[in-house]
Structure 1
Amino acid sequence: MTKTNLITGFLGSGKTTTIRHLLASKPASEKWAVLVNEFGEAGIDGALLADSGALLKEIPGGCMCCVNGLPMQVGLNTLLRQGKPDRLLIEPTGLGHPKQILDMLTAEIYTPWIDLRATLTLLDPEQLMQERYCSDENFLAQLAVADIIVLNKSDRQNDASRAALQSWLSINQAERETVTVSHGQVEGKLLDQPRRNQHVLNASAAHAHNLTAARGLAALSLPEHQRWRRSLNSGQGHYACGWIFDADTVFDTVGLLEWARLAPAERVKGVMRIPEGLVRVNRQGADFHIETLPGSPPDSRIELIHRTGCDWNALQIALLNLRLS
């Protein structure tokens, strides 16, 4: 049986960073796999995890639980039967509802295959200070299913966010374990905690995505001789636009980072080729992180997510003008 954990949390809570940390500290003798789901179609998380050494399956373009769970079921079966990993980490989109995912993982058909352990829910306490998060159905549902609530980004907390967190915990913590970390540095031993929490909120009828997008099991790629392409997606009150560029396209470093910093979007995430090598871009609101590394990615991918539609054409023109080749 494969030890399995759901790693959930809303947009920008630090799920991918946490999974990268867990994979970097996994036992050398074990084979791990990751099933990752993204709201957009560009496959940014897959690119961020590509060098982790884990088996990887992507479900881009919508919530993996939609379309009767078929995308998730196919991806899950592929990893379990072909990869036979010792541990499987499942990262749903930050805009997803966890009920159907947990229903599938606990279904009788998977009893011989899956040993479901603790669900870890990442929480950025600053989100508790904003009504749009605290009234969001999926945000609340993700926290409700947690066996362990991971209070991430502790290095960024202030008196106001700490007060909001303590107020929330006094009402919602119950008997669930909470751990406080920064930069997703979760201890691997938490993954072996048992699943105790059976409190799963039902998804409302409003839980729907642009189902034309919830279809793939691999992120978009470029047809031969095509230098770049754009993809759009919408659902759950959010809009996404992503771009993929071929491996020969190099971007001006300073211009690209300014473009990502100033883009009028709530979420910006990407892996892009620059003259120095590659840069990983991760922005949630004004919280902007970059990491420059040597080497060349197989392509460049960047995606923006916002609560309203943006002028994607204007952003695209500005981005295209930053190409050096």
Structure 2
Amino acid sequence: MTKTNLITGFLGSGKTTTILHLLANKDPAEKWAVLVNEFGEVGIDGALLADSGALLKEIPGGCMCCVNGLPMQVGLNTLLRQGKPDRLLIEPTGLGHPKQILDMLTAAVYEPWIDLRATLCLLDPRQLLEEQYTSNDNFRDQLTAADIIIANKEDKADASSTAALDAWCKTHLDGRELRFTSRGEIDGALLDLPRNGAREVPTSAAHQHGHSMERGLGALSLPGHQRWRRSLNQGQGYQACGWIFDSETQFDTIGVLEWARLAPVDRVKGVLRIPEGLVRVNRQGNDFHIETQSVAPPDSRIELITSGDADWNALQSSLLKLRLTASD
């Protein structure tokens, strides 16, 4: 049986960073797998996890629990039966609901395959100060369904967010374990804590996603002369726009960082080719983290998510101008 954990948390809470930390500190003798789902269409988290050494399966473009769970079933079956990992980490989109996923993982068909352990929920306590989060059913239900709450980004905490977390704990923690950390640096031993199967998981609210692919000059695989494409997605009161560029496209380093920092959206994630190699960008609100490496990725991908309106055409136009080499 494969030891399995659900790693949840709303947009920008630090799920992928936490999983990267866990993978970097696991027992090297163990084989781990990650099933990752993103709200957007272009697979940023998959790119971030690509060099982690784990078996990886991506489900882009909405919630893995949608379409009667078929995308999740396919990905889950592939990893379990072909990969036979010692441990499986499942990272749903930050806009996903845990109910259907947990129901599937505890179904009789998976009993011989899955040893379901504690569900962890990453929380940025500052989000408890904003009504757009606290009024969101998925945000609340992710926390309710978790066995362990990880108060992440402790280095960003202030008196207001600390007070908000204290107030939330008094009425919602309900005897569960609460851990504090920064940059997702949690103890891997938490993964082996048991799941509380008696905890009632709220039923998911009805949700839908709309998908649209607009090709600049190409499809996802960008064959032949095609250089880039754009994809749109919307649901849960949010909309996303992502771009993927071919392996020959490089971006001006300073220009693309400023574009990501100033884009009028809630969330920015990307892995981009620059003259120095690659730059990873991760922005939630005003929190902006960048990391550079000398080895370039096979392509460039960037995704924006917002709860408001966005002029994707204007953002695209300014992004395209930052390419150092372009014939389209």
Question: TM-score, normalization: structure 2?
Answer: 0.95
**1:174 corresponds to:** 174
Distance between the aligned counterparts of 1:221 and 1:258, measured in 2? 28
Q: Contact 2:212 / 2:231 at 8 angstroms: preserved in 1?
A: no
Output the CA distance in 2 between the equivalents of 1:221 and 1:267: 25
**Which amino acid in structure 1 is aligned with residue 282 of structure 2?**
N
Per the alignment, residue 90 of structure 1 pairs with 90
* Residues 258-306 of structure 1: per-residue CA shift (max 9 Å, x gap): 0000001000000001111100000000011000111010000000000
Secondary structure, counterpart of 1:264 in structure 2: coil
Q: TM-score w.r.t. structure 1 length?
A: 0.96
* Aligned residue pairs, count: 319
Q: Which runs of 5+ in 1 are unaligned?
A: 214-218
Amino acid paired to 2:147: D
* Contact 2:211/2:233 (<8 A) preserved: no
- Structure 1 distance, partners of 2:266, 2:122, is 18
Note the aligned Cα RMSD (angstroms): 1.2
Equivalent pair of 2:220/2:229 in contact (CA under 8 Å): no
How is 1:161-240 mapped onto 2 (pairs within 5 angstroms)?
Answer: 161-196=161-196, 198-205=199-206, 207-210=207-210, 220-240=220-240
Amino acid at match of 2:22: L
* 2:24 corresponds to: 24
Report if the CA contact (8 A) 1:251-1:274 is conserved: yes
Compute the displacement of 1:212 (Å).
7.5
| Bigger RCO (CA 8 Å, 6+ sep) | 1
CA contact (8 A) 2:211 2:232 kept: no
Match of 1:23, as an amino acid?
Answer: L
Note the 1:54-73 alignment, pairs <5 A: 54-73=54-73
Residue by residue over 1:113-147, the C-alpha shift from the partner in whole angstroms, topping out at 9 and shown as x without a partner, is 00000000000000000011111000001000110
The aligned counterpart of 1:15 is 15
Q: What is the one-letter code of the residue matched to 1:93? A: T
Could you say which residue in structure 2 is the equivalent of 1:289?
289
Matched residue of 2:179: which SS?
strand
Question: SS at 1:26's partner residue?
Answer: coil
Structure 2: how far apart are the matches of 1:68 and 1:241? 25
2:3/2:88 contact within 8 Å kept: yes
- Is the 2:150–2:180 Cα contact (8 Å) retained in structure 1? yes
Shift of 1:308: 2.5
Q: Which residue of 2 aligns with 1:216?
A: none
Which SS does the other structure have where 1:191 is aligned?
helix
Q: Structure 1: which amino acid aligns with 2:264?
A: P
Q: Distance in 2 between matches of 1:110 and 1:223?
A: 38
Amino acid in structure 1 at the alignment position of 2:118: A
Q: How far apart are the structure 2 equivalents of 1:317 and 1:211?
A: 21
Deviation at 1:211?
Answer: 6.5
Q: Which amino acid aligns with 1:202?
A: T
The farther-off stretch of 90-99 and 224-233 is: 224-233
Q: Give the Cα separation in 2 of the matches to 1:81 and 1:238.
A: 35
Q: CA–CA distance in 1 between the matches of 2:115 and 2:210?
A: 32
**Residues 279 and 291 of structure 2 are in contact (CA less than 8 Å); yes or no, is this contact kept in structure 1?**
yes
For residues 142-172 of structure 1, the C-alpha deviation after alignment (integer angstroms, 9 at most, x for no partner) is 0001100000000000111111110111111
Percent identical: 72
